[in-house]
């Protein structure tokens, strides 16, 4: 049979454009995965829906789709009836692990008998492990009668009407709906077929390819390829007809009529598409209004068939956003994709919309990295609470001071490119005692509680920390003047609760964990008296270790399993305190002071966390990535007899738009 041209007229091109307008088209990426579908000698029209070989008019590679996608192999196979399979071909078919066989034939085609034009009548020989369902497209005991068809023209008119009825007949629309839903709900590879695998199968294939976003000319090529795949069996059938009817005019007419019936022509498919445009206006409307599919059904089918190598905007993303987009991309190959899940609907709608909608910045769990970064700087807030009370310089030898301090702070980090901003808040009391052992030494011990919260990347973490701190100072000649050495340590145990909103209809996650913070600091400095001023410069080193247990998030399909985090921060510290001697004001001794501080991170200041979902990992870094911190503060102390009241505030500035402040108040009593 002569193959018809693939160059459609302007009218046909407009028809394809209207019928297949499921979504805005983007330039497809070149797909380079070769088609390796096995050739079955006893099932000539068997092929992978993903693409066809060069010998059949295809590219030999999987078909590209809109939005830069590519068809997946091994998902849907189209075929003729599986009634005449050889043992070898059955074994080959079984090796493809096909889980569902969707038979589109009528009962009479299944029950037989066979004939010259229906050699495939009979029951399927199912691939090993496959489940069988029959979806009778016509809804009748037999296909529409072709007994009156006597000429090629009548054969062509019969098949044109057949394709038009695929659209106009409610029973047939219901049949195609059932077939598509069966394919959508099958977790394994699936095969669908009618008798010869060209009309009902061809229409089903066209619907699936349209949903996938395959180009119209490629769909047409695949449709017409039945003439090539079945050329041998068509020739054999025509030879039998010739032998039965003879070589005269009657034989010529019979052969020409049968050739029209046994093959496919461009006009058949276009007749069905024209009916879609006339009755529904577009393929999308036909699928939803005519077949009764939902958008979720369409998205499940597309996700099964199409892989998008690059999601919208992914190439231009950086930082945590790029890592999140990589995870979203990878999840196309997870059990969440190609099923009725919130993730599948989100991702497919994002592809259509041309944007990931910010989910790429939320999905990876940056919040957990920001929380560890916050905990690693918790000793700074402890230092702020200790500063007015820990040195013992304001005590006489042998005196002890009991004190209670309250400190609160705020800190934010804008993060780098592709990293969300983080905001930290904390506050709590710290109570302790400081003892002036002798003229040269003092010691302190304290216990406290800190309530902290971290907000970033659509999430919030709340932490409750119980802590203990202790330390001392030793002056080479005296605590009141001259050089000194100082050391302090703190130990904290915290509980952690996180909640994250993912956006995109993906819900939210929550998680719980616990952990600890251990920090140590050693300093050297000097107390320098100059008239009514006291200058105290000092240099030191600090080391902090944070351990956060494994977090098993819950509440969303994209809930992460976050690996246990261990992070060590080391830094060099320099500071200068300037205090004015107390002045008597209305019976109170008032002493103002200024402080300047600088902290240089010796280790990587950025925290990185790793989480997993369905075997795919995602890494996130903290918004805080400041190697330098500068602190400037003002404080005032008021003392009357044995009671002391102190208050102060510090402003903090770091690299990369990191900034904050802390404020403190304390009361003390000496005895």
Q: Which CATH number do you get for residue 238?
A: 3.90.190.10
**Domain edge (last residue) among 265, 285, 304:** 304
In contact, 302 and 296? CB cutoff 8 Å: no
- Asked if 107 and 225 sit in the same domain, the reply is yes
β-partners of residue 464 are: 451, 495
Do 635 and 487 share a structural domain? yes
Residue 228 is assigned to a structural domain of this protein: yes
In-domain check, residue 325: no
H or E element, residue 452: strand 441-456
How confident is the model at residue 26, as a pLDDT? Answer: 37
Q: How far from each other are the two terminal CA atoms of the chain, in whole angstroms?
A: 111
Q: What is the pLDDT of residue 115?
A: 87
84 shares its domain with 229: yes
In tens, the pLDDT along 35-65 reads: 999 999 999 999 999 999 999 999 999 999 9
CA–CA dist 442, 17 (Å, integer): 86
Enumerate residue ranges in the chain where pLDDT < 50. 1-12, 23-31
- The three-point CA angle 470-472-474 to 5° equals 170
163/58 same-domain check? yes
Same domain, 553 and 653: yes
Residues 6 or more apart whose CB falls under 8 angstroms from that of 147 comprise: none
Q: Which two tokens stand for residue 535?
A: 């200058």
Do residues 231 and 380 both lie within one domain? no
In a domain, 659, yes or no: yes
150: which 2 tokens?
A: 């006597």
Verify that 295 and 368 share a domain, yes or no.
no
Q: Please check whether residue 641 lies inside any domain of the structure.
A: yes
**pLDDT for the residue numbered 16:** 57
As for how many domains the chain has, the answer is 2
Do 550 and 661 lie in one domain? The reply is yes
Place of tokens 């990931």: 356
DSSP state of 642: T
**Is 168 inside a domain boundary?**
yes
Residue 79, domain member (yes or no):
yes
User: Residue 450: inside a domain, yes or no?
Assistant: yes
For the chain, give the number of residues: 671
Please list the residues that pair with 501 across neighbouring strands.
508
Rounded distance, CA 31 to CA 33, Å?
6
Residue 302 main-chain phi, psi, to 5 deg: -65, -40
String of DSSP letters for 498-539: EEEE--TT--EEEEEEEEEEEEEEEEEEEEEEETTEEEEEEE
Of the candidates 270, 195, 201, 191, the one whose C-alpha atom is nearest the C-alpha of residue 237 is: 195
| Domain-located, residue 318 | no
Q: Are residues 300 and 373 in the same domain?
A: no
* 543 and 632 belong to one structural domain: yes
DSSP label of 554: B
Same domain for 45 and 129, yes or no, is yes
Q: Tokens 């989480």 map to which residue?
A: 611
Give Cβ neighbours of residue 469 (< 8 Å, ≥ 6 apart). Answer: 382, 386, 430, 432, 444, 445, 446, 447, 448, 488, 489, 490, 491
Q: Is 655 left (phi over 0), alpha (psi -120 to 50) or beta?
A: beta
Judgement on whether residues 494 and 604 belong to the same structural domain of the protein:
yes
| Residue 448 CB coordination number (10 Å) | 24
Give the pair of three-digit tokens for residue 590.
């008032």
Contact 320, 420 (CB under 8 A): yes
Give the domain extent around 274.
33-304
Taking a C-beta distance cutoff of 8 angstroms, is the pair 385, 646 a contact? no
Distance of CA 88 to the CA centre of its chain: 42
CATH number of the CATH domain containing 396: 2.40.128.130
426: β partners: 409, 452
The number of beta carbons lying within 10 Å of the beta carbon of residue 148 is 7
* Helix (H) or strand (E) segment spanning residue 361: helix 359-362
């Amino acid at each position: 049979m002569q193959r018809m041209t693939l160059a459609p007229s302007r009218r046909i091109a407009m028809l394809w454009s209207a019928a297949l307008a499921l979504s805005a088209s983007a330039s497809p990426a070149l797909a380079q995965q070769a088609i390796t579908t096995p050739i079955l000698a006893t099932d000539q029209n068997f092929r992978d829906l993903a693409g066809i070989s060069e010998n059949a008019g295809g590219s030999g590679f999987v078909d590209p789709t809109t939005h830069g996608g590519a068809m997946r192999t091994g998902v849907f196979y189209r075929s003729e009836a599986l009634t005449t399979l050889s043992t070898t071909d059955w074994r080959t078919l079984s090796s493809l692990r096909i889980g569902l066989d969707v038979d589109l034939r009528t009962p009479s085609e299944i029950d037989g008998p066979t004939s010259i034009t229906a050699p495939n009548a009979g029951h399927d020989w199912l691939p090993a492990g496959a489940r069988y369902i029959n979806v009778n497209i016509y809804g009748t005991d037999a296909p529409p009668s072709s007994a009156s068809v006597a000429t090629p023209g009548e054969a062509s008119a019969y098949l044109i009407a057949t394709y038009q009825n695929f659209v106009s007949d409610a029973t047939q629309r219901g049949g195609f709906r059932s077939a598509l839903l069966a394919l959508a709900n099958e977790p394994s590879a699936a095969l669908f077929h009618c008798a010869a695998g060209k009309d009902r199968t061809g229409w089903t294939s066209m619907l699936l390819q349209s949903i996938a976003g395959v180009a119209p000319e490629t769909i047409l090529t695949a449709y017409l390829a039945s003439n090539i795949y079945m050329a041998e069996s068509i020739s054999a059938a025509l030879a039998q007809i010739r032998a039965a009817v003879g070589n005269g005019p009657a034989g010529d007419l019979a052969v020409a009529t049968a050739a029209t019936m046994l093959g496919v022509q461009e006009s058949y498919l276009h007749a069905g598409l024209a009916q879609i445009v006339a009755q529904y206006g577009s393929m999308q409307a036909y699928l939803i209004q005519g077949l009764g599919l939902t958008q979720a059904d369409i998205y499940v089918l597309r996700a099964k068939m199409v892989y998008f190598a690059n999601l919208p905007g992914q190439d231009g993303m950086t930082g945590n956003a790029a890592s999140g987009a990589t995870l979203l991309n990878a999840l196309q190959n997870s059990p969440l994709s190609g099923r009725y899940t919130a993730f599948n609907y989100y991702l497919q709608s994002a592809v259509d919309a041309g944007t990931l909608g910010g989910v790429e910045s939320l999905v990876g769990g940056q919040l957990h990295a920001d929380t560890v970064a916050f905990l690693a700087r918790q000793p700074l807030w402890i230092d702020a609470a200790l500063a007015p009370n820990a040195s013992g310089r304001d005590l006489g030898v042998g005196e002890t001071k009991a004190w209670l301090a309250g400190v609160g702070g705020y800190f934010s980090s804008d993060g780098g490119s592709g990293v969300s901003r983080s905001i930290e808040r904390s506050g709590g009391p710290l109570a302790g005692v400081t003892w002036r052992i002798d003229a040269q030494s003092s010691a302190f011990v304290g216990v406290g509680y800190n309530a902290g919260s971290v907000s970033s990347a659509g999430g919030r973490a709340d932490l409750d920390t119980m802590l203990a701190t202790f330390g001392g100072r030793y002056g080479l000649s005296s605590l009141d003047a001259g050089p000194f050495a100082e050391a302090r340590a703190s130990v904290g145990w915290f509980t952690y609760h996180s909640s994250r909103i993912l956006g995109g209809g993906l819900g939210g996650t929550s998680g719980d964990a616990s952990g600890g913070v251990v920090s140590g600091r050693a300093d050297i400095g000097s107390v320098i008296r100059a008239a009514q001023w006291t200058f105290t410069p000092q240099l030191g080193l600090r080391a902090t270790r944070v351990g956060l247990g494994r977090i098993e998030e819950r509440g969303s399909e994209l809930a992460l399993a976050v690996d246990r985090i261990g992070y060590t921060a080391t830094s060099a510290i320099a500071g200068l305190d300037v205090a004015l001697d107390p002045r008597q004001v209305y019976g109170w001794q008032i002493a103002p002071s200024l402080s300047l501080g600088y902290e240089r991170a010796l280790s990587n200041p950025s925290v990185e966390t790793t989480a997993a979902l369905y075997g795919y990992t995602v890494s996130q870094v903290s918004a805080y990535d400041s190697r330098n911190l500068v602190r400037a503060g003002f404080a005032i102390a008021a003392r009357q007899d044995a009671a002391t009241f102190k208050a102060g505030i510090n402003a903090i500035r770091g690299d990369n738009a990191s900034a904050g402040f802390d404020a403190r108040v304390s009361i003390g009593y000496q005895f």
